[in-house]
Amino acid sequence: MKLFVGLGNPGAKYARHRHNVGFMALERIAERQDIGPWRRRFQGETAEARFGNERVLLLKPTTYMNDSGQSVGEAQRFLKIPVSDVYVFHDEIDLAPGKVKVKAGGGNAGHNGLRSITAHIGNDYNRVRIGVGHPGVKDAVAYYVLHDFAKVEYAWLDPLLDAMADSVRFLAQGDSARFLSQVALSLRDVEEAEEEAPEPPRKEPPPRAKPHPAGERTAKRAGALAENLKKWLAGRGGKT
CATH number, domain containing residue 184: 3.40.50.1470
Query: Residue 240's pLDDT is what?
Result: 45
Phi, psi of 185 (to 5 degrees): -65, -40
Residue 213 covered by a domain: no
The CA-based angle 116-161-15, given to 5 degrees, is 55
Question: How many domains are contained in the chain?
Answer: 1
Q: Domain range spanning residue 157?
A: 2-196
d(C-alpha 183, C-alpha 185), whole Å: 5
Q: Which of 19, 120, 147, 212 is catalytic?
A: 19
What is residue 219's predicted lDDT score, i.e. its pLDDT?
A: 58
Assigned domain for 130 exists: yes
Residue 160 lies in a domain: yes
Average pLDDT by stretches of 10, the chain with 240 residues: 97 97 98 96 97 95 97 98 98 96 90 97 97 95 96 97 97 97 94 76 70 59 63 59
Q: Can you tell me the distance from the alpha carbon of 139 to that of 112, in angstroms, rounded to the nearest whole number?
A: 16
- Single-letter residue type at 191: E
Q: Is 147 a catalytic residue?
A: no
DSSP codes joined into one string, 14-77: GTTBGGGHHHHHHHHHHHHTT----EEETTEEEEEEEETTEEEEEEEE-S-GGGHHHHHHHHHH
pTM here is: 0.81
Asked if the structure places residue 173 within a domain, the reply is: yes
What is the phi/psi pair of residue 86, to 5°? -100, 130
The pLDDT value recorded for residue 140 is 96
Residue 223 lies in a domain: no
Residue 192 pLDDT = 83
In a domain, 232, yes or no: no
Q: What is the pLDDT of residue 108?
A: 87
Strand runs labelled E in 68-140: 86-92, 100-104, 126-131
Is residue 229 a part of any domain in this protein?
no
Establish if 205 belongs to a structural domain: no
The phi, psi pair for 104, rounded to 5°, reads: -95, 125
Q: What is the pLDDT of residue 110?
A: 87
Query: 4 and 46 in contact (C-beta within 8 Å)?
Result: no
Distance CA 106, CA 126 (A): 9
Long-range contacts of 218-227 (CB under 8 A, 24+ apart): none
